[in-house]
Amino acid sequence: MPAEHLKLTGHLEIVLIRPDGSRSVRLIHNLVVNVGKALVADRLMVAPTLDAITHMAVGVGTTPPTVLDTALVSEVLRKAFDSADLVDLTIVYVAIFGPGEASGALVEAGLFNADVDGEMMARTVFPVVNKGIDDTLRITWNVVVG
């Protein structure tokens, strides 16, 4: 009988919205890091000791992600999710970085269980998104359990 394997995978939709309403969209895959896998396992316990994922961060670090990562390389801003939902076997996290938030040449993002420090579940790097001061950046991060 073949063994069943539980796997966590993820991908992001990054939408940059300019003040005139024009948009650019990118689809990016992420890496669920070792600490993130341990966090998910802990959350399945009767009395978990780690907090649930609640925040998304963006940054400017270009180092490729590895399973040993515990933080972004160069975090610019971390904020609580605007929404988090379970759709079938996919957890959908959405964070909106509005005008005046996280401006600059963004190239990395991560999921965390705290507004400062905490455990990081997943990290990704992507081609530069130049977010101007008046732009809005919406990141929809899907974590698939399957």
Is a pLDDT exceeding 90 seen at residue 108?
yes
pLDDT at 7: 83
pLDDT of 18 > 70? The answer is yes
Q: Would the pLDDT of 126 be above 90?
A: yes
pLDDT tens digit string along 19-61? 999 999 999 999 899 999 899 899 989 999 999 999 999 999 9
Q: What is the number of structural domains in the chain?
A: 1
Q: Does residue 2 lie within any of the structural domains?
A: no
| Structural domain containing residue 28 | 8-145
pLDDT for position 4: 61
- DSSP string for residues in the chain: -PPP---EEEEEEEEEE-TTS-EEEEEEE-EE-HHHHHHHHHHTSSS--SPPP-EEEEE---SPP-TT--S-SSEEEEEE-SEEEEETTEEEEEEEE-TTSS-EEEEEEEEESSSSS--EEEEEEEEEEEE-TT-EEEEEEEEEE-
Q: Is residue 93 part of a domain?
A: yes
The pTM assigned to this predicted structure is: 0.93
Give a yes or no: residue 79 inside a domain. Answer: yes
Please check whether residue 3 lies inside any domain of the structure.
no
What is the residue-averaged pLDDT of the chain?
94
Q: Considering the domain boundaries, does residue 128 fall inside one?
A: yes
